[in-house]
Amino acid sequence: MGDSVSKLSRLRKNRLEILDRMASIEEMRRGSVIRQFFKIKHPGMAKPLLRGPYALYTCKKKGKTIGRRLRRPEEIRHLQEQVENYHFFQGLCNELVNVSEQICDEKDKEQESNHHPYSHRLR
């Protein structure tokens, strides 16, 4: 049981660390920053020319995809960081769920060993 308690303590500590990292993220956005090209047909040319790339921020709102053209390099970098923060946050959410499930499993094991009808004989 001592091992279970120390494992439970480690899992709880890990959970708090994940929550701290989540709390440190101030700016995040769903969506993505993509590069877009346009095909431009010119008279007398067999193949269209590609124009671009143009940076575009896209996301879904109320079931519809919206886009916003990004023009300045600092604006592109800023939105890219916000999108990356969102993906990092999603990863932390998955970690939190995994650790929480492990905590549940450890508590279940602890409860089983405390309520086992023959547990007093095992000590």
Answer whether residue 123 is part of any domain: no
In a domain, 54, yes or no: yes
Is 104 within a domain? yes
Domain total for the chain?
1
In tens, the pLDDT along 21-74 reads 999 999 999 999 999 999 998 888 888 889 989 999 999 999 999 999 999 999
State the pLDDT confidence band at 113, using cuts at 50, 70 and 90: confident
Q: Is residue 25 part of a domain?
A: yes
Residue 15 lies in a domain: yes
Quote the domain boundaries for residue 94: 2-118
pLDDT bin (cut points 50, 70, 90) of residue 111 is confident
Pairing label, strands 64-70, 49-61:
antiparallel
Residue 8 lies in a domain: yes
Residue with tokens 């993220």: 25
**In the prediction, which pLDDT does 3 show?**
64
